[in-house]
Amino acid sequence: MSVKPIKDLSKLCVHTITTKSWSIEEAGERYEAAGVKGISVWRQYLEGRNIAQAGERLSNHGLEVVSLVRGGFFPSVSSTERKKALDDNRKAIEEAAALGAPMIVLVCGADPGQSLATSRAQIQAGIEEVLPFAMEHGVKLAIEPLHPMYADTRSAVNTMEQANDMAEAIASEYVGIAADVYHLWWDPHLEKEIERCGKKGNLLAFHICDWNSPTVDLLNDRGLMGEGCINIKEIRSWVEEAGFSGFNEVEIFSDRLWAMDQQEFLDKIVKSYYDC
């Protein structure tokens, strides 16, 4: 394993949900002061804002908007719900374009009332349906495979292999993959599938955090990098060897870390970032 150490913060991006209690304005100011260079914006932080102005404000803080989070949730046993999801994804695409975000992360969705294969077929059909609209707006769509513990309701795409299969079947330069260590670290085929993803030009994003052992909550107990058992460095080396040169995006949902002073938390993120 040859891993280049992280020397500076030029590739450090933070998701707004990571510092949950901060508004987008406060996050912009504090990320800049901490030396963060990229920001991925969760849609709820744009509510009630002029989105174009919010984007301008971030760029005035020297922050590159890396992605808008999140679109997706395509599958449903109900055709009315599936149609609603398409409308919501078109809205997300408009928001991303207004914000200046080059891509949307897709939490693809699943419906426990039908098979995973049916949900996956609906995901692919949904992406293909909104794709022309995304292309018109210059916004890419990043399929994020989620850990199989979320296969019931959050995503029927659970491995890098399934995400690769889907991205290659759609075969558009506007559709790729967001690889998140939290969801993928356990997969024995991960290195090979990351390499495959890079070769096809489909690797759009890289998300980092850690897996706490024990994990006390299935959603909101992600760890700060270094706290848990994920081989983040090794996975980063695979991603970089696959040709990825984008941001390392810190995406942490944690009741424990959200409860602490968020400035202290951000300082810890920056400190731990150098070792991951």
How far is CA 48 from its chain centroid?
23
Q: How far is CA 24 from CA 29, 111, 199, 264, in A?
A: 9, 32, 35, 18
Count helices and strands (H / E) in the chain. 10, 10
Specify the residue for token string 């002061």: 33
Q: Is 210 in the site for Zn ion (CB under 5 A)?
A: no
Stretch binding Zn ion (CB under 5 A), from 32-40, 87-95, 204-212, 233-241: 204-212
Query: C-beta of 48: minimal distance to Zn ion in Å?
Result: 25
Residue placing its CB nearer to Zn ion in the complex, 95 or 251: 251
Residue placing its CB nearer to Zn ion in the complex, 115 or 186: 186
Q: Is 15 in the site for Zn ion (CB under 5 A)?
A: no
Residue placing its CB nearer to Zn ion in the complex, 95 or 180: 180
Q: Is 222 in the site for Zn ion (CB under 5 A)?
A: no
Residue placing its CB nearer to Zn ion in the complex, 24 or 66: 66
For Zn ion, which residue of 251, 257, 265, 269 counts as binding (CB under 5 A)?
251
Q: Give the residue among 37, 55, 57, 45 at the shortest CA–CA distance from 20.
A: 45
Residue placing its CB nearer to Zn ion in the complex, 140 or 207: 207
Q: Is 207 in the site for Zn ion (CB under 5 A)?
A: yes
Cα angle vertex 206, ends 204, 210, to 5°?
160
Query: C-beta of 140: minimal distance to Zn ion in Å?
Result: 15
Q: Is 180 in the site for Zn ion (CB under 5 A)?
A: yes
Stretch binding Zn ion (CB under 5 A), from 48-56, 72-80, 92-100, 203-211: 203-211
Query: C-beta of 9: minimal distance to Zn ion in Å?
Result: 20
Query: C-beta of 226: minimal distance to Zn ion in Å?
Result: 18
Check residue 194 and give left, alpha or beta (phi > 0: left; psi -120 to 50: alpha). Answer: alpha
Query: C-beta of 207: minimal distance to Zn ion in Å?
Result: 4
Token digits for 113?
A: 């009332």
Rounded Cα–Cα distance for residues 79 and 48 (Å)? 30
Task: Give the number of other Cβ atoms within 10 Å of residue 157's Cβ.
Answer: 31
Query: C-beta of 24: minimal distance to Zn ion in Å?
Result: 19
Rounded Cα–Cα distance for residues 250 and 267 (Å)? 13
Where along the sequence are the contacts to Zn ion (CB under 5 A)? 180, 207, 251
